[in-house]
Amino acid sequence: MTFLPNGIYTLKNPEGEHLTFKIYTKRGGKYKGTRQISLMVGPNIDQLRGFAFIDEDRNSIYLFRKCRSRTFECYRSLLERAHHALESLPDKENAEQQAKFVWLSRTYEVLRSKKSMKCNSTLTDPESIKRGIGTVCRGDKPSRKFF
């Protein structure tokens, strides 16, 4: 299995806080063809903060030199555990499934992002992913929480 297929993943902790990551293949430039991981940030979660790349041969995540810090090391560990949790699902190709894993005595939920049934925008909020419709279309105020 490919190490976490390209897509957008939201990790939710027990307190309801969440982080959203985008895994994608670079299309141009010096690192064309490499798979990279970015943290999605900003008020609309529309800005990418790249911090790592995936080595498919070793099935591992490696941090960029400039991102070798405790915070990004935690993100790397979370994503590796998310990969193992998703890999253990009986139907790996079913994007509707969600997986759970335990790290540092806390249970995390892994959700693969979907598109809104109403406006087709990418959903990143855990509740929106489960409902299939975003906060804007529902008329709620989006809440962005960090770990």
Strands 47-55 and 18-25: unpaired
Of 6, 2, 38, 3, which is closest to residue 112 (Cα–Cα)? Answer: 6
> For the segment 97-132, what is each residue's pLDDT rounded down to a tens digit?
578 888 878 888 888 887 888 888 888 888 888 888
Higher-pLDDT residue of 85, 54: 54
Q: Are 75 and 81 in contact (CB under 8 A)?
A: no
* pTM over cut 0.85: no
Surface-to-core class of residue 75, CB atoms within 10 Å of its CB (0-12 exposed, 13-18 middle, 19+ buried): buried
89 band by pLDDT with thresholds 50, 70 and 90? confident
Question: CA Rg, the chain, in Å?
Answer: 15
